């Protein structure tokens, strides 16, 4: 069965819209965008469009590539201290002269809807409740829940150890009582490990999961998304090979991507 992230995301978005329509007060999202990276501009535009659709007030603060780091840090301070602002997003990547670490650490954890700040990451790692959960891992779990796919007691293999997906995905699966193995570029016998998995979550950005690696009854979640040599969007999983073998699989596009947006909107509404 193909896990339709778009359909599930659409249902969540409509639910959030209905929820906010009944509220007296609304979330207020502030987005900081530095430079003219085309991809970043598309991402910010899409986030703004979706946020405003569900009823979130949104402001984008744009700065040129050569803006001084202190300007961005001061702006974050201003947004932190503005009681009307409930959510802050700083679009990545930032220009090389601006410290990503300083920027992330400056954001108030209570407004950190990306779950990037050390406090939110630390609370997640310590088994405490963060103010928000990372959007992509949370979106993956929301998708599994929508299809009533049990996580507890299952062996989950996470391929990739990024701070944005791999590490928090492993932590959140552990919180659901899965047995978790993290694989990465230095892992030996990757194929043998994946074959033992009930759930595979791949987030590395290259074609890595093929038919011979998976087994029947597996759930395969493809977080990777990039363009192949022909310019087509694809993911980490060889979909045509793997889809006939496994029990559940996400497509690219239309799988995890829409769920990430829905998850982020949930965080903004929560804020």
Q: Which residues are annotated as catalytic?
A: 47, 91, 114
- Taking the C-alpha atoms of residue 252 and residue 104, their distance in angstroms, rounded to an integer, is 29
Helices then strands, counting H and E runs in the chain, come out as: 10, 10
Assign 3-state DSSP to the chain and report helix, strand, coil percentages, each to 5: 40, 15, 40
Q: Contact 70/98 with Cβ under 8 angstroms?
A: no
Tokens of 51: 């946020």
- Taking the C-alpha atoms of residue 218 and residue 225, their distance in angstroms, rounded to an integer, is 21
Cα separation values, 46 from 17, 52, 73, 89, 158, Å: 16, 10, 24, 13, 28
């Amino acid at each position: 069965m193909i896990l339709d992230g778009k359909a599930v995301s659409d249902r969540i978005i409509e639910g959030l819209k209905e929820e906010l329509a009944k509220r007296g007060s609304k979330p207020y999202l502030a987005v900081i965008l530095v430079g003219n990276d085309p991809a970043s501009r598309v991402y910010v535009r899409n986030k703004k469009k979706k946020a405003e659709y569900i009823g979130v007030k949104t402001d984008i603060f744009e700065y040129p590539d050569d803006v001084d780091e202190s300007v961005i840090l001061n702006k974050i301070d201003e947004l932190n201290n503005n009681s009307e602002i409930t959510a802050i997003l700083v679009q990545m990547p930032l220009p090389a002269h601006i410290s990503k670490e300083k920027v992330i650490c400056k954001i108030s954890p209570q407004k950190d809807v990306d779950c990037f700040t050390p406090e939110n990451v630390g609370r997640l790692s310590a088994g405490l409740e963060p103010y928000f959960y990372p959007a992509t891992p949370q979106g993956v779990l929301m998708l599994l829940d929508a299809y009533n796919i049990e996580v507890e007691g299952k062996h989950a293999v996470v391929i990739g150890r990024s701070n944005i997906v791999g590490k928090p995905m492993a932590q959140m699966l552990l919180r659901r009582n899965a047995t978790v193995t993290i694989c990465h570029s230095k892992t030996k016998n990757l194929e043998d490990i994946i074959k033992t998995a009930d759930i595979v979550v791949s987030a590395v950005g290259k074609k890595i999961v093929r038919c011979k690696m998976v087994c029947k009854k597996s759930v395969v979640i493809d977080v990777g998304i990039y363009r192949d040599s022909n310019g087509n969007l694809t993911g980490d999983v060889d979909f045509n090979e793997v889809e006939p073998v496994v029990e559940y699989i996400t497509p690219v596009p239309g799988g995890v991507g829409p769920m990430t947006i829905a998850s982020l909107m949930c965080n903004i509404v929560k804020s």
